[in-house]
Amino acid sequence: MIHSELRQDLVSGDWILIAPGRARYWHAHFKISPRKHESYKTCPFEEVLKNHKSILVYENRHGWELVVVENKNPVVSHGKVCAIDSKRGPYTRVSGVGHHDLIITRDHNNNFAHLSPSEANQVLEVFRDRYLMLSNDKCLAYVSIFHNWGRSAGASVYHPHYQILAIPVVPPDVEHSLAGSARYFKKQKKCVHCEMIKYEKRDKKRVIFENQGAIVVAPYFSREPFELRIFPKRHMPYFENALDLDLGYVAEALQYSLKILEKKLKDPDYNFFIHTAPLKNKKQYGHYHWHIEVLPKLNISAGFELGTGIEINIIDPDEAA
């Protein structure tokens, strides 16, 4: 790919500007600072069970190996009543009712990429366990599960941890994804994500990894350099309904993805998150396909991106793959 090209996200309808001509400029100016390994002696998560209210504790013969705890500084909290909608002039507001949890693994240095396969599987299974608990709360509309690795990705604590934020509204990015999936299904009577998987397997240019039950691709309409998406091959709208076998395949794919980013891009900071169908009105979302998106922190949105909503990606996804 030589010239710039506008590409439309098949699901959301958003436009992405692929501009490979700027890649030389990016390579000349972009540098990843060596990661600083912070001491476990001052880590607030080493004594997590003393400092946080625990929700779930998974133990082995050496003590706890993974815990789910309440965030000490939550962005939302849950009282005795559900969120209340109200108006203030022309504006709509909803009270910040919800849950904000941390999932913390025992090892101070090993992020998801460096867990053992069984430990990685357990992390996804714990995501599902907590998700199922939260799904019984009628006050909630959506459960967001994500991981921030590195300071520029928003991680304020070095010790590997994951977050679950359950809120009373469906986030706009998820709304776009759901609406786009519904539009495609209405026209084609097919799942848009399944069709993308089928095409990428046939095209063979952007497939990073594949096992029996999951596939990793560099999206044709990647918003960010070296963006990756991980799909379970089985069509499932709801992450919480994934079987252990499916989660095992996805865990292997996610670990491979993070290891290859670390190896090839000199250990960049990154975010990954799960997109899944909402908690309510479940009969509406049979067309959707849950997945994980991985976004390395290699780009800074500037005036054009912020002013138009069109992201500029200077790495051709074919070349990224």
Neighbours of 315 (CB within 10 A): 23
**pLDDT score of 47:** 86
**pLDDT score of 63:** 85
Give residue 280's identity as a one-letter amino acid code: K
Could you report the per-residue pLDDT of 26-64, keeping only the tens digit for each?
555 556 667 777 888 888 898 888 888 899 999 888 888
- C-alpha to C-alpha distance for 226 and 269, rounded to whole angstroms: 12
Could you report the per-residue pLDDT of 274-300, keeping only the tens digit for each?
999 999 998 999 999 999 999 999 887
**pLDDT score of 176:** 94
- C-alpha to C-alpha distance for 140 and 169, rounded to whole angstroms: 7
Q: What's the mean pLDDT in 178-189?
A: 96
**pLDDT score of 38:** 81
- C-alpha to C-alpha distance for 83 and 99, rounded to whole angstroms: 12
Structure tokens at 96: 């910040």
Q: What's the mean pLDDT in 176-200?
A: 97
**pLDDT score of 22:** 66
CA distances from 37 to 149, 272, 295, 307 (A): 12, 21, 22, 37
pLDDT band at 124 (very low <50, low <70, confident <90, very high): very high
Q: What's the mean pLDDT in 239-252?
A: 97
Q: Do residues 225 and 298 touch, judged by C-beta distance below 8 A?
A: yes
**pLDDT score of 287:** 97
pTM of the model: 0.93
Whether the pLDDT of residue 83 is over 80: the answer is yes
Least trusted range by pLDDT, from 63-67, 158-162, 194-198: 63-67
- C-alpha to C-alpha distance for 228 and 76, rounded to whole angstroms: 29
When comparing pLDDT for 174 and 305, which is higher?
174
Whether the pLDDT of residue 235 is over 80: the answer is yes
Pairing of strands 228-232, 291-296: antiparallel
Whether the pLDDT of residue 133 is over 80: the answer is yes
Query: Which DSSP helix (H) or strand (E) runs through 210?
Result: strand 207-210
Structure tokens at 101: 């949890």
What crossing angle do the helices spanning 172-188 and 192-203 adopt, rounded to 10°? 80
Long-range interactions of 255-258: CB distance < 8 A, separation 24+: 255/112, 255/113, 255/115, 255/117, 255/120, 256/208, 256/209, 256/216, 257/208, 257/209, 257/216, 257/228, 257/230, 257/294, 258/111, 258/112, 258/113, 258/294
Q: What's the mean pLDDT in 72-80?
A: 88
**pLDDT score of 51:** 83
